[in-house]
Chains A and B, each alone.
Chain A
Amino acid sequence: MSLKDIPVHFDPGPEPDGSAPTGMALALLQEVADHLRTVADGGERQIVELGNLPLSDGDFRLLEEKLGRGEVEATISASGRTEVFETAYTGVWWVKYFNEGDHPAAQQLEIGTVPMILEAHPDDIQASAENFSRLFDETVRNSH
């Protein structure tokens, strides 16, 4: 006799995590509209954190559908993957951070010229400039 012979039927029931939009997505779009106005008027970069809001799968689907996809897509490899894409609305960016194990770590809508994770940090540029001059010296030395 194997496990298959035992007449047990597993009924997981309907998905308990409601997949219908909750209204939260609409509230969020309203917030994004405000932020976009702020940035369009010359204000600072605005960020909306999606990770700690009780958004349902339906809310996410609605957000993705309404915001759409724009011209830019990028993947950053720094302590795991980060995915960035511009939505159909210029200046509204969707940023998805993943950790080393490729689990979602944070998810944000950034409203501004360019998402901060894409920018190089001045300290890193400083270090890079030092390394680069060394590379140049070495190359010159080796060619003689």
Chain B
Amino acid sequence: MKEHDLTLGEELRRQGISRRSFLKFCAGVASSMAIPAAMVPAMADSLAQARRQSVIWMAYQECTGCIESLTRSFAPTVENLIFNFVSLDFQHALQAASGDRAVEALKTAMKENWGKYLVLVDGSIPLKDDGIYSVSHGQTHLESVRELAEGAAAIVSIGTCASFGGVGAARPNPTGAVGIDQIITDKPILNVPGCPPMPEVMTGVLTSFLAFGALPEVDSLKRPRAFFADTIHDRCYRRAFYDRGLFADSFDDEGARKGYCLYRLGCKGPVTHNACATLKFNGGVSWPIQSGHGCLGCSEPNFWDKESFYKPLSAGQWGSAEGIAMAAAAGVALGAASAVMSRRNQDKISGGK
């Protein structure tokens, strides 16, 4: 909670951590963000020149699933990030202090880092009846997020609830829940949706904020393009079966056992933008489609309310047949020319270097 005068490079060298660790950390981040590996040394140098970033992490109307997921980041680990590169000044679930002392710590961190701290939020915010449905320490979360946002450098909404309202905002939305960017409109906000979100996205976003001093490039839903530019379908290992028209028609038929495409069982992969098809969960162990279940579309707005998880896209509310056909066509193009495509993404990130 004090001003950190040393650069991260100096601070860590005192602990006997060499620059090779920076290089390695950045190699992991660059890998998950499709940042050209050639930029890793520059990124590591820049991270070593940065100073420890004050981070305030708020839990609002949420289920703690997001933090469960994020603490299972493997490449690089979130512990590595928290212990070495940021100063996590407030987090309900992780901090030792409790009650008034915890709130005091929060106020101190805000005062000392006013205008510079980064706010991470998981959970939606209820608006109905002045937000009375979600309260901590006598303050509604609506008041809390407004107060915190005022002194924040930027806000990262973690999970689908903080990004789009998520489960809290599902019909009939009894608390009038919304995502953070519907309340705060005058600060840079980044959405990292997913139920839960990919841990590598958070380590990637925070590291690029530290190394490049800015939040990464985003799509129209404020999601970092490095992770959300492609659909699940674009990168799905079962894509070859889709292209050949081989589908599972029930969860225990011949097709399911052979690992055929789950489109007819309601997979939302073609319209869902996320990175789990390549990053996977639990350190690369598996991800929903690999375990034999279609994608639920958890990183898209209102995914709970878009008909059944088990109805094929063509029968649901996920967009017109045309939109789906386009997604499929884009997928085919990508499959055929993925090298070209990823090069183009890389150029965008590196400014063509």
Contact = CB atoms under 8 A, between A and B. Distances in A.
The answer to whether A and B come from one shared complex is: yes
Interface of A: 11, 13-18, 22, 27, 31, 44-49, 51-54, 56, 76, 78-80, 82, 97, 99-101, 103-108, 116-117, 121, 123-124, 127
B168 interface: no
Interface stretch (B32-40, B173-181, B185-193): B32-40
Nearest to B77: A99
B18 A52 contact: no
14 contacts: A16-B290, A27-B339, A46-B38, A47-B40, A49-B34, A54-B237, A80-B24, A82-B24, A100-B79, A104-B283, A123-B9, A123-B13, A124-B19, A124-B20
Contacts of B166: none
A105 B27 contact: yes
B17 A47 contact: no
Interface of B: 9, 13, 17-21, 23-25, 27-28, 30-32, 34, 36-38, 40-41, 48, 74-77, 79-80, 235, 237-238, 240, 257-259, 277-279, 283-284, 290, 292, 338-339, 342
Nearest to B35: A49
Would you list the 6 A-B pairs with minimal beta carbon distance, nearest first?
A47-B37, A121-B19, A16-B259, A105-B75, A106-B31, A78-B20
A16 B18 contact: no
Which of A46, A48, A80, A116 has the most chain B CB within a 10 Å cutoff?
A: A116
Nearest to B286: A17
A22 B20 contact: no
A111 B210 CA distance: 28
Given A49-B31, A105-B28, A117 B20 contact: yes
Which of A48, A76, A97, A105 has the most chain B CB within a 10 Å cutoff?
A: A105
Which of A13, A16, A97, A107 has the most chain B CB within a 10 Å cutoff?
A: A16
A117 B23 contact: yes
A99 B278 CA distance: 18
Contact of B76 (A17, A46, A105, A127): A105
A121 B28 contact: no
Contacts of A14: 257-259
Contacts of B28: 97, 99, 105-106
Contacts, number: 127
Contacts of B258: 13-14
A120 B132 CA distance: 57
B87 to A, nearest CB: 19
A51 B284 CA distance: 10
A31 B37 contact: no
B240 A52 contact: no
B25 A79 contact: yes
Contacts of A54: 235, 237, 277-278, 338
A123 B74 contact: no
B259 A116 contact: no
A124 B19 CA distance: 7
A123 B19 contact: yes
Contacts of B37: 47-49, 108
Contacts of B80: 79, 99-100
B338 to A, nearest CB: 8
A124 B77 contact: no
Contacts of B31: 49, 51-52, 105-108
Contacts of B79: 100
A51 to B, nearest CB: 4
A106 B17 contact: no
Contacts of B77: 99-101
B75 A106 contact: yes
Given A13-B257, A51-B32, A103 B13 contact: no
Nearest to B75: A105
B40 A56 contact: no
Contacts of B40: 47, 116
Given A15-B259, A103-B75, A123-B9, 8 more contacts: A13-B257, A14-B257, A49-B31, A79-B21, A79-B25, A99-B75, A117-B23, A124-B13
B18 A121 contact: yes
A56 B74 contact: no
A79 B76 CA distance: 10
Nearest to B22: A121
B13 A127 contact: yes
B240 A97 contact: no
Contacts of A97: 24, 27-28, 75
Nearest to B79: A100
Given A13-B257, A99-B77, A79 B24 contact: yes
Contacts of A105: 24, 27-28, 31, 74-76
